[in-house]
Structure 1
Amino acid sequence: MQIGIIGYGDLGKQLRSFLQQQYADAVFTVFDDYTSVVAGATVAPFDAYQQAAYATHQLYIGLGYKHLAKRETIVSAINAGQMQPFIHPSVVQGVDVQIGAGSFVYPGSIIDHQAVIGKGVLINNAVVVSHETNIGDATYVSPGVVICGKAQIGKRCFIGAGAIISNGVTIGDDVVIGIGSVITKNVPSGASVIGNPMRFTDKLNVL
C-alpha cells in the first residue's frame, strides 16, 4: 500500500504513527516544503500530491487547525477514492454513521448513530459525537470534546480540548471554541467563544 501524507508538522507525524500501526507494510511519501529528510519515507514538494505519479497513493491531510481552509481546498480537489477516511480500530460507531473523505478519527472516540461527519474533518482522541450530529467539512475537534445530540457544526471550525456542546445547538462556519468551554446557545459564523458560562471574545484570546 502506498500512503501519502500532505503536510508533515506535528499532526502529520501523529497521523503517520497511527497509519503505521494499521498498515505495517505501507510505503510512505511525505508532501512538505519544510522537511527534507524523513526516516523511512520519501519526501516530495507539498503540491506534488496532485501529480499523476502519486495517483495510486492513499492520501491523508497532515495540516493542523491553523490551516483549515487549506484542508478544505485539498479534500475538495481530490477524488474521494484516493482519500478514504481513516477510523482507528478502537473507535465505537453506531448505525448509519457517515464519515466523509479525508477525515481522520483518533483512538477512543465514539461516533453515535446517524452522526454525519463531513470531508477533511479531524476527530481527536476520546471525542464523543452524539446521535444525529452533523459536523461540516475541515472542522478540527480537539481531544475530549463532547458534542451532544442533534448539534449542527459548520465548516472550518476549531473546537478546543474538553469543550462541551449542548443538545441541538447550531454552530456556524469558521467558529473558534476555546478549551473547556460549555456551549449552550447557538454561535454565529466567524465568532469566537470561550468559558463556562460561554462568552464571545477575540479569536487571539482563544487560540
Structure 2
Amino acid sequence: MKVYLLGAANPEAVRMILTLQRSQPDVQFAFLDNDPAKQGTLFYGVPVVGGTDKVAELKGPDTRFVNLITGTTALRYRTTCEIVEAGGTLGNFIHPGIDLTMITMGVGTYLQEGVIMQAQVSLGDNTSISAGSVVGHEGQIGHSVFMAPGVCIAGCVEIGDGTFIGTNATILPRLRIGRWVTIGAGAVVTKDVPDYAVVVGSPARTIKTNPASFQDGRVFN
C-alpha cells in the first residue's frame, strides 16, 4: 500500500507516519504539495514527489490519497476535489491511539493524536480533527469540516459541511451549526448558527457572513 499525503507543512504528520509504520511497516508514505519549491525535496525525511497534478500518474489499486490541508475548509475542499476528479482513491490517516468503537466515518479522514469521539459519532468525507479535540456522543459532523486543536463539541451537535472551528472553541449540546460556518478560536457557541456565518466570542455572536461559494462539502457526486 502507498499513501500520498497532500500538504507538506506540519511535522506532526511525519511523527504520525513513524507511529503508524511501527504497526504497518509495509505501508509506504510520501507527500504531495502544490508549492513547486517543495517538490523534489524531503520533508523531515519523507519525499515530496509533486503536486495534485501527479495524482493521475500515481493512482492505482493499492494507492490512497489523504488531504492534510487545513488552512481553510474551502481550500481543503477544492484540493480534495482535484484528487477525486483525477481518479485518486481517498484513504484515511488516523492516529492509531484513537478509539473508533461505535464511530461511523467516510473517507479522506485525518485525525491527529488525542482526538476523542464518543459513541455514535458520525464523520463525513474529507474531515480533519486536530490534536486534543473532543466530539460528544451522537455528534454529526459533515463533509470537509476542520476542527483545530482543543475543540470541545458537546453531545448531539450537528456540524454542517465545510465548517471551520478554531482552537479551543466550545459548542454546547444539541445545537445545529450550518454549512461553511467559521467559529473563532475560544468561542463559546450557545445557540444554533446559520449557514455561512462567522461567529466569535463568549457567548458567540455573528460578526459577518462568509461568501456562499459552495452549497455543500461533498467530494463525491
Q: CA RMSD in A?
A: 2.3
Residue in structure 2 matched with residue 23 of structure 1 by the alignment: 21
Q: Does 1:2 align with 2:2?
A: yes
Give yes or no for the alignment of 1:183 onto 2:184.
Answer: no
Conservation of the 8 A alpha-carbon contact between 1:33 and 1:46? yes
Q: For the residues of structure 1 that align with 2:85 and 2:18, how far apart are their CA atoms?
A: 25
Answer whether contact 2:160 2:178 (CA < 8 A) is retained: yes
CA–CA distance in 1 between the matches of 2:182 and 2:29? 33
Q: Does the C-alpha gap of structure 1 residues 17 and 79 become closer, same or farther in structure 2, counting only changes over 3 Å?
A: farther
Q: CA deviation at 1:203?
A: 6.7
Alignment partner, residue 197 of structure 1: 203
Secondary structure of the corresponding residue to residue 14 of structure 2: helix
> Identity, % of aligned pairs?
26
**More off after superposition, 70-79 vs 151-160:** 70-79
The alignment partner of 1:43 has SS state of coil
Unaligned runs of 5+ in 1: none
What is the TM-score with the length of structure 2 in the denominator? 0.80
Contact 2:52 2:83 in 1 (8 A): no
Q: List aligned pairs for 1:20-169, cutoff 5 A.
A: 20-24=18-22, 25=25, 26-34=27-35, 35-36=38-39, 37-38=41-42, 39-51=45-57, 53-55=58-60, 56-66=62-72, 67-71=75-79, 73-74=81-82, 77=85, 82-95=89-102, 97-169=103-175
**1:114: how far off?**
0.7
Offset, 1:157: 0.8
Runs of 4 or more off by more than 4 Å in structure 1? Answer: 74-80
2:218 is aligned to none
Post-superposition CA distance 1:46-69 (Å, at most 9, x none) = 221133x43232211121232233
Whole-Å Cα distance in 2 between the matches of residues 94 and 181 of structure 1? 29
Is the CA contact 2:177–2:195 (under 8 Å) kept in the aligned structure 1? yes
Aligned partner of 2:217 in structure 1 is none
Offset of residue 181 of structure 1: 0.6
> Are the equivalent residues in 2 in contact too, given 1:5–1:16 (CA < 8 A)?
no
Letter in 2 for 1:69: Y
2:216 maps to what in 1?
none
The structure with more helix, counted as a fraction of residues: 1
Name structure 2 gaps, 5 residues minimum.
Answer: 211-221
Instruction: Note if 1:172 corresponds to 2:173.
Output: no
CA-to-partner distance for each residue in 1:89-127, whole Å, 9 max, x for gaps?
2223442x1121011111111111111011111111111
- TM-score w.r.t. structure 1 length? 0.85
CA contact 1:71–1:120 (8 Å) conserved in 2:
no
CA contact (8 A) 1:83 1:101 kept: yes
